[in-house]
Chains A and B, each alone.
Chain A
């Protein structure tokens, strides 16, 4: 791959490198506008997401938070009639919407976990190795290592180490979600995007995933969309509140839940609207 389009620290432009060092932000969003056909879903969103922290995106349904999340790995490209119509998203200073960016490489660096658990209808082992095999990795020892490392990182190894060749679909909902996280980790991303990862899980499974998020942020930058205010408060370091496509307020989570600046944020986090 052309080194110029790699999403890696080496490709950071000098000016942005200084900026990135200054505030350790990994994802730099500026004036982002996004349309589904004629409907504006994002309206001038500007924010910097710091690395190795958890950033929560909150807001009522239709506010644009999932659209924003999907902009970070260009998953919106897969939606017909959906377009970035203004602004930019930079990761490590590289505009990820640049014409020379390898989208597959981008999605390898920016993994994603969805609301609905979606393991492949294959074995636990194959779920983890799928991405690597796509990349042409065939070395069994290497694949075994990745499976164990990923499942351990996803706090699932102890529960499935004797069931690696059973179907991923045979696991419980909470285990399936952690399997999906392990699958995302297997290709060694820098960023993990989570779109309501616990909305279909019971409280115990939710607590496990939240604990996992807390552990994973030591190594990864995590951006999570959640409708659960308490989850945002528990899990995230920074919280962004979006409403009608606009970023209303973005601050450290403590501030957002103790003394938000904007009355709309206050009303939303207090459950008074949305």
Chain B
């Protein structure tokens, strides 16, 4: 039986999907701006952050309205709760993209410290996690979502390796300290983006089967699931 307010949930879903698309675009463009030292693109990324902020507020408003007036239960309840949480994660992804482009602007005044290989690779992994987590929202796929969570440690490893490498630059040549630190922070931002993708994937598992897998071994270790 279709209810007169079913379209409200459709709008809610659409807004979350839109937020996800914007967040993915922001991260891709931020890394592109870094690799190409494209300050114009960097500015574009920073300016677009407001879109995500406004969508987060809108999703919260819609969720509160729906909970107050429609008393959702079961799948609908989980959708509204998960939608609110995922929108906060996506807003934070946007913030991290903005952090990256701010550092790109600072890096642009000096020659590149090293060729950008690991960071774009790591960012591509984080973006893929984000895309897959959002795909799990559309398909309500808990199995795929769990696999997203388990990929987070790969991004963490690259971040750790980059930290070691950049620390080496600073020890060897203190003049590289500023650039190395900026790159460390960019690496940390990418690592945080992967964390948010992992959070969203955990939320999608809850949406799919009501199971709360946060802080469990299953999200870290494929053998435990």
Residues on A facing B (Cβ under 8 Å): 229-230, 233, 257-260, 265-267, 269-273
Check B76–A270 contact: CB distance below 8 A. yes
B54 at the interface (CB under 8 A from A): no
Residues in B whose Cβ lies below 8 Å from that of A271 = 3
Task: Give Cα A266 to B1, complex, Å.
Answer: 12
* Residue of A230, A269, A272 touching B1 (CB-CB under 8 A): A272
B75 at the interface (CB under 8 A from A): yes
Check A272–B73 contact: CB distance below 8 A. no
Check B3–A257 contact: CB distance below 8 A. no
Residues on B facing A (Cβ under 8 Å): 1, 3, 71-78, 209-210
Task: Give Cα A230 to B67, complex, Å.
Answer: 12
Task: Give Cα A270 to B2, complex, Å.
Answer: 11
**Distance between B69 CB and nearest chain A CB, rounded to angstroms:** 13
Residue of A nearest to B74 (CB): A266
Known contacts A259-B78, A259-B210, A260-B74; 4 additional CB pairs below 8 A are: A258-B73, A258-B78, A269-B73, A269-B74
Given contacts A258-B210, A259-B209, A259-B210, contact A270 B78 (CB under 8 A): no
Residue of A nearest to B77 (CB): A258
* Residue of B1, B3, B71, B74 touching A258 (CB-CB under 8 A): B74
Check A259–B71 contact: CB distance below 8 A. no
**Distance between A154 CB and nearest chain B CB, rounded to angstroms:** 28
Task: Give Cα A271 to B9, complex, Å.
Answer: 14
| Most A CB within 10 A of own CB, among B1, B3, B74, B78 | B74
Task: Give Cα A267 to B1, complex, Å.
Answer: 9
Task: Give Cα A257 to B72, complex, Å.
Answer: 9
Residues in A whose Cβ lies below 8 Å from that of B210 = 258-259
Task: Give Cα A259 to B74, complex, Å.
Answer: 5
Residue of B nearest to A255 (CB): B210
Task: Give Cα A248 to B210, complex, Å.
Answer: 19
Residues in A whose Cβ lies below 8 Å from that of B209 = 259
Given contacts A271-B3, A272-B1, A272-B3, contact A230 B78 (CB under 8 A): no
11 CB < 8 A contacts A-B: A229-B73, A233-B73, A257-B74, A258-B74, A258-B78, A258-B210, A259-B74, A270-B72, A270-B75, A271-B3, A272-B1
Check A257–B77 contact: CB distance below 8 A. yes
**Distance between A28 CB and nearest chain B CB, rounded to angstroms:** 28
Given contacts A259-B210, A273-B1, contact A230 B71 (CB under 8 A): yes
| Most B CB within 10 A of own CB, among A229, A260, A271 | A271
**Distance between A49 CB and nearest chain B CB, rounded to angstroms:** 22
Check B75–A266 contact: CB distance below 8 A. yes
Task: Give Cα A86 to B191, complex, Å.
Answer: 63
Task: Give Cα A257 to B76, complex, Å.
Answer: 10
Task: Give Cα A267 to B6, complex, Å.
Answer: 13
Residue of B nearest to A261 (CB): B210
Task: Give Cα A39 to B121, complex, Å.
Answer: 68
Check A257–B1 contact: CB distance below 8 A. no
Residues in B whose Cβ lies below 8 Å from that of A266 = 74-75
Residues in B whose Cβ lies below 8 Å from that of A272 = 1, 3
Task: Give Cα A260 to B209, complex, Å.
Answer: 10
**Distance between B40 CB and nearest chain A CB, rounded to angstroms:** 48
**Distance between A57 CB and nearest chain B CB, rounded to angstroms:** 17
Residues in A whose Cβ lies below 8 Å from that of B75 = 266, 270
**Distance between B121 CB and nearest chain A CB, rounded to angstroms:** 38
**Distance between A151 CB and nearest chain B CB, rounded to angstroms:** 34
Residues in A whose Cβ lies below 8 Å from that of B3 = 271-272
**Distance between A255 CB and nearest chain B CB, rounded to angstroms:** 8
Task: Give Cα A257 to B210, complex, Å.
Answer: 11
Residue of B nearest to A229 (CB): B73
Task: Give Cα A169 to B72, complex, Å.
Answer: 38
Task: Give Cα A266 to B209, complex, Å.
Answer: 13
Residues in B whose Cβ lies below 8 Å from that of A257 = 73-74, 77
